Amino acid sequence: MFDEKEIPTPEYWISLLFKRLVGRQVLNVFTDGNVEFRIYGHCSFNTPSGLVVYYINLHERDIGWQLARVRGENYELYSLTPGEDGKLSSRSVKLNGQKLRMTGDNLPSLHPVRSRTWPIIVPSLSYGFLVLPNVSVLACQ
């Protein structure tokens, strides 16, 4: 997950966020079968009964998206988009618009965007994590 210069690849950042946010309990998320926009649900790693939905948008366009049962709820969004060239083959990645890079051996701060505005605009060619810390999911308790 590092390139030949020991620089973390986009896969590294996705894996790091996954480990920090996503719990072990998998949830059934109903989708419309769209293969270019996929969503997955898990219990939160950090919040006992919280929800984490992660997604991948392979469309060449942004998508407006919302979860019907959680409208109005506060959420934390970690949106990962391609780095400088804007293509999936990019060797760098941006988190909420800021390029991720190490400073020596130190990780950068991985802060989410906090909001309660719906629908969420999911950028084209992106991967992200939507954390709903205040949603009480029965299967996660």
pLDDT tens for each residue of 84-125: 777 777 888 999 999 998 888 889 999 999 999 989 999 999
Q: How far apart are CA 17 and CA 8, in angstroms?
A: 13
Q: Which pLDDT value is given to residue 76?
A: 95
Q: What's the full length of the chain, in residues?
A: 141
Choose between 32 and 74: higher pLDDT: 74
- The predicted-structure confidence for 13-70, as pLDDT tens digits, reads as follows 999 999 999 998 888 876 677 789 999 999 998 887 789 999 999 999 999 988 877 7
pLDDT at 120: 92
Q: Which CATH architecture has domain 10-140?
A: Sandwich (2.60)
